[in-house]
Structure 1
């Protein structure tokens, strides 16, 4: 009896973990099955519809499922006991792509791709991905691509010569093979530094092996039994896989070996640094493979296996996606003779009768070609979907996506979302609205016309008008409750009166006195960034930071101490309720503007966004009331000073804070109330810190993208300060000519305010269109800064003096 009891006890103890796993699995299954999806069967899951279909019909099943579950925005599949959640909406996909945790690649990559590409960038995750990505980043710089334009042109010229015999014959040809060989030649010569000559030699074993492994991979994914390695290895497809992989790896091993031998020959012939190598007989080219080989010489942990994995990845991703994109582009262009004609006209306008090969400059002039290629990629994306493994549970569309599930990001499906593309299958080449309507177009917003102006000369008519000065009525949605009659939202007599009071606060002599505060607060920000940066060695850091929050806290400290005369110390205290409330109001205002129903106050007030608005406004107004009260108390403590102009603000001499001007006015003029003070403080606090933060963040972003700009800025600082550790003064700031040009150009590309609005009180005319009284006009600052007549290459970050002066 005792023995049986003991055995029962042991059995129960052993069964508890099993039962826990079963319960956990059932909970997992129940969570997944709440998501809509096709009927699932044991073992085969939802893959039953694919069985017995020809390869060309497989995707039709996916299309039908996409249409069926389009409204839900997602659906679930079961594949050999593993759930795959397929996301179809952009907002759902964004949750995955912007996640810092759900970055692990799906386990389905491990079927065939893992054996082929190992831990290359496509497959790897986490620390390994970050390390390899950082090593390879320089190979993606535009200056590298610019240096290879002649290779692109030469290889394409060979392809054209191969195709010429078919011209005018009426024969149908398969363009894919020609493009594939051309792309392989290009990727080998540019990225790998070797000449492949695939177009001259004809058939390529590597290309055949890529096609073979793609076929095998598709068949393995669709057959549940083939997901088990031991079963797959015994099949004919397993044998085909091994043979293809052997060919692929032999090819990349050969590529690596050839480049290594070439490097040895070059090093024997040159005494200088490898930075000046003439790759493939052309000066100053740094091939992708060279960077990888350089890395192995510097870092022992970067092994030969790492090299092959990245070369395998780059070879495949570099030539295959290019081939697919180009093939579909030619297919679509072939279907649209009008597009062919416009492309031909564009080429003739650029080259005329010249036989010169395209350069980086002439490629940048092909605006219509650029639109055609982008639309081709939308209609036929090169990669139909990518997949991630869920590490941390999240929610989309009211459904929980549990940890352990796979999520598929449907690129093909999201580019057919009818919310963004009303006729998604149509090859649509219209420009964006601000380009299409030649600087002016109209919207209707809740029964009110909004005329959008995007040419500088049109905007000038409104800005210089002395009658059309009333702010647009859409300011009344959320800004009016927040800023009320501050300078941003007020008009007419109120605006003029308040502007006159505040004009002295904008004098340069005032700003000069605040330079040391700017420096002190920025120094705190720099220290905070340094303290929160993970340094791998003395010269490189291994983490990415969000600089916006650091700049935001710094800007708030500056505006409070300079304009309001109080020390906020937002950078020292960390989280700030005011900044959170400002961010919340921005979200609420955006949601309210975009939802027509929310334009009605009574509907909005009953919504959750209405509640969020009230809470955020209470926080903002409480903060500004506190700022005003603190300054009033500080003034009382300094009342003994006979001359208020010399009040010692925050221990510094001869500073007249913005808030002091308002408080002085309220003492002299009873009609200037506490509410007037708060309106202007709210306005100045918001406009003063938020626009500064946005402008500084985008400037840092652009400078980060352009190492040459960083270098010149550094040189300018060294020229001005030498080895001095002194803070900048207004005099030294004025010497920063290049810095001035960089900031102005970054403001052009990313203006802190995208548009402003006015209500028309007197009819006027632009471009032969009458703008009637009572309409709103939106002055599109962002659109003006991208006007191609004023800025021939509006998206390009230019720092040349002539261009910057023109911009200003």
Structure 2
């Protein structure tokens, strides 16, 4: 039998053999292709059945009547995979939502799907109030899971009892005392920024403010959170600074690629390996600062005495400037099991992440709008001249900020048009009623600040930059949830008062020295919507010394 097979094969010509093998390969390729199509069809059918219950409950809401699972994800992936469109995903998210908002604005909400997950996007004040006032929907949406390798489960990403206990613990740290303690540091770093912007603008006839402001806010948050003077503005080559800035870039790219959401896949890619290398640098730096601060506190005062005098306003320790890290270490000294050193690392990294990026884009957008509005800018200069006169060196004080009433209106109007966080979401872990509709378990509710702040019924001519909207007489009767740049309810931004004061000081110290001229109009600056609302291509501003005879 074997001999017969050998004889048969030897009698076949090489050409016939190759042809036969090719036909065999084509036949099995067709079988595999058909099997793949069949399996995909079965998968989509199962997925559709899994969706059916939520579809029936949400079908009366405005939105696409028929939505295939993963269709949106495929469209987004195609957009971000274009080599000439590196910011495609973040740009497409905003443009897609803008189109849907235009269709469904009168309803104040619409539904969508991401894979198998139903999403309800809301942008009407009463719906936002229902969601944010509820203590039943406190877990954040799945997009925050991408931050776990960086931030762990700190205050931003945690939920349940851990979040509640940490929130109670941290709230006292963010009253005005921390601002009083560190206003000098904010002033000093912002004056360094003002000098840098002036010199760069003179050398290059304008400067992209975003990277420069980012380094300034990084200096500020590092000193106020960790008690560490970083001097990032004068030393951009520090390993921690380079790693943090690069990590932010890589994280932005990661949010634009749906496949990168899978940790097991992402860590094997070149970008994933670079991302983890940057994480190692950041985490090592934070742990070193924590260890040094812990040893310093132990050396300065014995732990028992430190805990007894924690709330004693007459003690030497409490009279010193105390960064956020000190509060965590005090709790650690009380009971190392309640908050470990790794817990402290998570929280410090969380506040470093939250505290520099969002504030940086907030300041940048405000400077951009001021530079486009000569009349509004003049009102700010008049207010600053009244408070400071010709003195450009004196630090801005708490009392000075109380006099900056129009400046506050300008910042609020800037945050209305360009909220630092354009979208944020909550996961329904149980059925939740919103606007008379019972949302099924697993639904993600997304608050769209960007569109909420553009409700023409609340803000007439919403695309116009009009700071006087926020004068007290014009704010009367406005729905309290029509404007929520820092979120609201129990999961609002814990550092919002500090962030507002920081923006006031930084912008004041810049405008005391310069007149601003933005070099691009609003329709020339594209938007990228990821965790924060970024300008596509930067924000170019010319800084003209106030002593110059040139106009703004």
Shared fold (TM-score, shorter chain, > 0.5): yes
Q: Say which of 36, 39, 54 aligns to 1:28.
A: 54
Match of 1:689 in 2: none
Are the counterparts in 1 of residues 137 and 429 from structure 2 also a CA contact under 8 Å? yes
Partners of 2:419 and 2:170 in 1: how far apart? 24
Q: Secondary structure at the match of 1:198?
A: coil
Q: Is the contact between residue 277 and residue 284 of structure 1 (CA under 8 Å) also seen in structure 2?
A: no
In structure 2, distance between residues paired with 1:69 and 1:232: 36
In the superposition, relative to structure 1, how do residues 257 and 67 fare at CA in structure 2: closer, same or farther (>3 Å)? Answer: farther
Structure 1 residue aligned with 2:143: 108
C-alpha distance in 1, partners of 2:239/2:107?
45
Match of 2:298 in 1: 264
| Contact 1:188–1:195 under 8 Å retained in 2 | yes
**Shift of the alpha carbon at 1:51?**
2.1
Greater relative CO (CA pairs within 8 A, separation 6+):
2
- 5+ residue gaps in structure 2? 1-44, 478-552
CA apart distance, 1:90: 1.7
Q: Does 1:175 align with 2:213?
A: no
- In the alignment, structure 1 residue 348 sits paired with structure 2 residue 385: yes
Q: Which residue of the partner structure matches residue 449 of structure 2?
A: 411
Q: 1:301: how far off?
A: 2.3
Aligned residues: 418
Write out aligned runs for 1:611-690 (5 A). Answer: none
User: How far did residue 104 of structure 1 move?
Assistant: 1.3
Equivalent residue, structure 2, for 1:162: 196
Closer, same or farther: CA 343–213 of 1 in aligned 2, 3 Å: same
2:413 is aligned, of 375, 378, 392, to: 375
Q: Could you tell me whether the CA contact under 8 Å between 2:424 and 2:448 is conserved in 1?
A: yes
Task: Write out aligned runs for 1:425-440 (5 A).
Answer: 425-431=463-469, 435=473
Distance, in Å, in 2 between the alignment partners of 1:204 and 1:277 is: 36
Matches within 5 A, 1:321-400: 321-354=358-391, 355-400=393-438
Q: State the Cα distance separating 1:348 from its structure 2 match.
A: 0.9
Residues 216 and 241 in structure 1, CA contact (< 8 A), matched pair in contact too: yes
1:291 matches 2:327: yes
Structure-2 residue corresponding to 1:51? 78
Aligned counterpart, 1:72 = 107
Cα distance in 2 for residues equivalent to 1:382 and 1:160:
22
Matched, 1:37 2:63: yes
Q: Which residue of 2 aligns with 1:246?
A: 280
How far did 1:413 drift?
1.5
Measure, in 1, the Cα distance between the counterparts of 2:302 and 2:435.
63
* Alpha-carbon distance in 2 for matches of 1:47, 1:428: 39
Query: How far 1:261 moved relative to its partner?
Result: 3.3
Q: 2:121 aligns with which of 73, 86, 93?
A: 86
Within 5 A, what are the aligned runs for 1:513-552? none
Q: What is the DSSP-based 3-state SS (H/G/I as helix, E as strand, rest coil) of the residue aligned with 1:408?
A: strand
- Contact kept, 8 Å, 1:74 with 1:86, in 2: the verdict is yes
Q: Which runs of 5+ in 1 are unaligned?
A: 1-18, 444-808
The whole-number CA distance in structure 2 between the counterparts of 1:81 and 1:236 is: 29
TM-superposed CA distance for 1:337, in Å, is 1.4
How does the TM-score come out when normalised to structure 2? 0.69
Q: Deviations over 1:758-803 (max 9, x none)?
A: xxxxxxxxxxxxxxxxxxxxxxxxxxxxxxxxxxxxxxxxxxxxxx
Mapped to 2, the partners of 1:333 and 1:415 lie a distance apart of: 19
TM-score scaled by structure 1? Answer: 0.48
Q: Which moved more, 1:115-124 or 1:28-37?
A: 28-37
Q: Matches of residues 738-753 of structure 1 in structure 2 within 5 Å?
A: none
CA separation in 2, counterparts of 1:21 and 1:61?
24
- Per the alignment, residue 98 of structure 2 pairs with 63
Q: Secondary structure at the match of 1:199?
A: coil
Query: Are residues 1:227 and 2:261 paired?
Result: yes
Residue 210 of structure 2 is aligned to residue 184 of structure 1: no
Judging changes above 3 Å, is the alpha-carbon distance between structure 1 residues 284 and 21 closer, same or farther for their aligned structure 2 residues? Answer: same
Distance (whole Å) between structure 1 residues aligned to residue 99 and residue 74 of structure 2: 14
1:305 maps to which residue? 342
Aligned to 1:527: none
Distance 1:339 1:207, change over 3 A: farther
1:148 aligns with 2:174: no
How far does the alpha carbon of each residue in 1:310-335 deviate from its partner, in whole angstroms, 9 at most, with x for none?
10111111111111111111111111
CA contact (8 A) 2:155 2:167 kept: yes
Alignment RMSD (CA, Å): 3.2
The whole-number CA distance in structure 2 between the counterparts of 1:91 and 1:269 is 50
Q: C-alpha separation between the residues in 2 aligned to 1:291 and 1:253?
A: 16
Q: In 2, Cα distance between the equivalents of 1:432 and 1:324?
A: 21
